[in-house]
Amino acid sequence: MNTDTLDKMRRMRLLGMHRAFKTSFESTADKPLTADEMVALLIDSEWDDRHNRTIERTMRNARFRYRATIEQVDYTIERGIDKNTVHRLADGEFINRKENILITGSTGTGKSFLASAIGHQACQLGFKVFYANATRLFAQLKIAKADGSGIRELSKIEKQDLLILDDFGIQPFDQQSRAALLDIIEDRHGKHSTIITAQVPVKQWYDLIGEKTVADAIMDRIVHNAQRIELKGESLRRKWTKKQTENND
């Protein structure tokens, strides 16, 4: 009977229940579970299993650059990261409030890592997250527009609870990229949150975007409800390379 029940659970893909039920009758515990306790055990196990699988799927779909976590963030004084600020962001309330985060700093200071860590935490909280390198994203949107799938791709981006645009402004914006950026920001404004990382200060983004009217429209929607984090200090990649060299010596 137990074998038949386990087989039915497996076929119905009740994997959490399957694991819990199998463990329960293989257990050598002296006191067997009551009917209520068994039902609670099976339901809790299935709930946890589905929740964990949802998080794993969300993480895969996010396509993060780094498998970063909040616990791994370096809070040394010279970096300019306030631990309390990051932990407040980690609770996901900024997403519920539809706020943006703008992370700036020189190359190698950990902008992408911090953005990925916040995004990773958002996935853990059940939010839909999508990470994209800005240059690659706009190149892909140009191709999508050419083959007729542009609207579908923009719609997919619009539905994300949190969008991470990494390495913003590495390349100058042409007319198509500006139009795509305006569409993305306009679609998400007041509905979802966006994290943008860039090497240059926010005040220089107008020049990066170009075409004053479009730049004004984009920046007005990005900046007015945004939290800003400016990273400082030596390149972490350079420090890591230096440390590795010293250890080898």
Mean pLDDT is highest, among 21-30, 64-73, 192-201, 228-237, for 192-201
Domain residue spans of the chain: 2-61, 64-237
Residue 241 has pLDDT above 70, yes or no: no
pLDDT at 219: 94
Nearest to 81 by CA among 195, 201, 191, 228: 228
Residue 245 has pLDDT above 70, yes or no: no
Scored b (16 or more CB within 10 A) or e, 40-56 reads ebbeebbeebeeeeeee
Rounded Cα distance, 179 and 26, in Å? 61
pLDDT at 112: 92
In this predicted model, which residue has the larger pLDDT, 13 or 245?
13
pLDDT at 195: 97
- How many Cβ atoms from other residues are within 10 Å of residue 82's Cβ? 11
Q: Mean pLDDT score of the chain, rounded to an integer?
A: 86
Rounded Cα distance, 118 and 103, in Å? 12
- CATH for the stretch 64-237: 3.40.50.300
Residue 195, strand partner residues: 101, 164
In this predicted model, which residue has the larger pLDDT, 38 or 100?
100
